Amino acid sequence: MNEYPHIEEELITALQKKFQINDAHLTASEWDRAYLAGQRSVVQLLSIVRQQQEQQNQRATQKRI
């Protein structure tokens, strides 16, 4: 988790709007489809890291209480 800076929810929301999951267009080249899939995979990774950061923060907060 320490390898990523804190990720804000607003960033994830903006990226999800910008790089929405779309059906693959068979007329698009294989490279274009792979490029779009790569964009989505980055958004998914950041979303997962954000969730893990939140869980870690909640556990840390609970330990302090």
User: How far apart (Å, rounded) are the C-alpha atoms in residues 22 and 28?
Assistant: 12
User: How far apart (Å, rounded) are the C-alpha atoms in residues 39 and 19?
Assistant: 7
- pTM > 0.85: yes or no: no
- Residue 49 has what pLDDT? 97
User: How far apart (Å, rounded) are the C-alpha atoms in residues 43 and 46?
Assistant: 5
Average pLDDT of 19-34? Answer: 82
pLDDT greater than 80 at residue 64 = no
- Residue 1 has what pLDDT? 54
User: How far apart (Å, rounded) are the C-alpha atoms in residues 59 and 48?
Assistant: 17
Tokens of 62: 């609970």
User: How far apart (Å, rounded) are the C-alpha atoms in residues 52 and 50?
Assistant: 5
